[in-house]
A and B are shown apart, each in its own frame.
Chain A
């Protein structure tokens, strides 16, 4: 069965600093990988997705993620954090034949400080 592990339930960065949110996946077949963001009292919004077309994926709001098969990782990065980036971030995985089930990680709360 597929799964994702997000290292660090809370990450704190200074405004303007690099954001790095970690995600490792487990799947016996090539996975589809996603990053979602959840702002307080809102639903989840897609940031970006990996579909095997390119290993470096660019998303909205300046975020990007790199798929590394050798490390089974799909870490999310942003060069310069903004106060508005403070939110909960979820990594998710789906595999073909998995009944279209999207399995989420436990989430990482990003805090951005002045």
Chain B
């Protein structure tokens, strides 16, 4: 029973293409996130949604657009892909909104390679 699942696991595409990554959690959490991990393993938050409402948008280019159809799903759509978008993208979820000590539960990541 996978708690946070992302698809696809690997994504190889060419510059200029548009791609989506899907994320689903079955933990009943009300907050979901997208993090980007670069080649040096640095993790940076991109977006956070609480009950389908955007609460964190960390200076991410407009080419990235998250969509949360319900609180169990948070998808990431990327337009006009660039070489610098190559990274591992992690979806995560947690219980609780602003602040709090509830830990994040992470998916296994989507490795995006832009050629």
Contact = CB atoms under 8 A, between A and B. Distances in A.
A28 to B, nearest CB: 14
Contact of B99 (A34, A36, A38, A95): A95
Interface residues of B, number: 30
B90 interface: yes
A30 to B, nearest CB: 11
Nearest to B101: A51
Interface residues of A, number: 28
B98 A43 contact: no
Given A96-B98, A100-B96, A107 B41 contact: yes
A78 interface: no
Contacts of A98: 98-99
Contact of B48 (A41, A45, A97, A101): A101
B98 A100 contact: yes
B83 interface: no
A70 interface: no
Given A42-B108, A107-B41, A99 B48 contact: yes
A102 B45 contact: yes
Given A94-B100, A95-B99, A101-B45, A44 B56 contact: no
Interface of A: 32, 34, 36, 38, 41-46, 49, 51, 88, 90, 94-104, 106-107, 109
Interface of B: 4, 31, 33, 40-45, 48, 50, 55-56, 58, 90, 92, 94, 96-101, 103-109
